[in-house]
């Protein structure tokens, strides 16, 4: 397990230092390995929290296999979580994000995706997928009516 130490100075005149460790974990998706902060993804997802810290075989190894996900979209999704930046959203990515949010019970992330889907034009080819995704969202009925 790798740790990264970050130094914080509370008050320049006190020059007190505080250190904390950031653990790294791994999400496996097919042939792709994604390094994550298990604490961060566990705060957002009770599913990943149980996988990283529950009584599963992955416990202690900090390695979790995420099956049946589109690898490229999942890497993008995890990068958005770590950077807290959703600037690269497209309709297709937003739909994948809703699927991942639902699968991993990351309900607080709906607020990042829903406003985007409410304001963009959804193409005919993505309309049925958008309706299926909207069905998973708390306010999804509003999106379905708009589509």
Together in a domain, 78 and 144: yes
Task: Give the separation between CA 39 and CA 57, rounded to whole angstroms.
Answer: 18
The residue-averaged pLDDT of 44-64 equals: 81
Together in a domain, 144 and 88: yes
Together in a domain, 146 and 75: yes
Range of the domain at 128: 70-147
* pTM above threshold 0.85: no
Together in a domain, 63 and 82: no
Under 8 Å between Cβ of 1 and 61: no
| Residue that wins the pLDDT comparison between 82 and 138 | 82
Together in a domain, 135 and 116: yes
Q: Has residue 68 got a pLDDT over 50?
A: yes
Q: Has residue 7 got a pLDDT over 60?
A: no
What is the pLDDT of the chain when averaged over all its residues? 78
pLDDT confidence band for 145 (50 / 70 / 90):
low
> What pLDDT, in 10s, does the model give residues 105-114?
998 898 888 8
Helix (H) / strand (E) containing 32: strand 32-36
> 146: number of CA atoms within 13 Å, CB side?
18
What is the predicted pLDDT for the residue at 10?
40
pLDDT confidence band for 46 (50 / 70 / 90):
very high
């Amino acid at each position: 397990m790798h740790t990264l130490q970050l130094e914080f100075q509370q008050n320049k005149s006190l020059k007190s230092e505080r250190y904390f460790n950031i653990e790294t974990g791994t999400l496996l998706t097919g042939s792709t390995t994604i390094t994550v902060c298990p604490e961060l993804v566990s705060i957002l997802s009770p599913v990943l929290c149980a996988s990283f810290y529950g009584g599963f075989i992955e416990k202690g190894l900090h390695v979790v296999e995420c099956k049946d996900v589109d690898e490229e979209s999942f890497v993008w999704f995890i990068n958005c979580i770590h950077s807290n930046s959703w600037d690269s959203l497209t309709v297709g990515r937003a739909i994948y994000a809703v699927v991942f949010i639902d699968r991993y019970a990351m309900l607080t992330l709906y607020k990042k995706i829903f406003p985007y889907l409410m304001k963009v034009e959804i193409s005919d080819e993505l309309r049925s997928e958008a309706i299926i995704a909207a069905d998973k969202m708390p306010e999804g009925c509003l999106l379905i009516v708009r589509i």
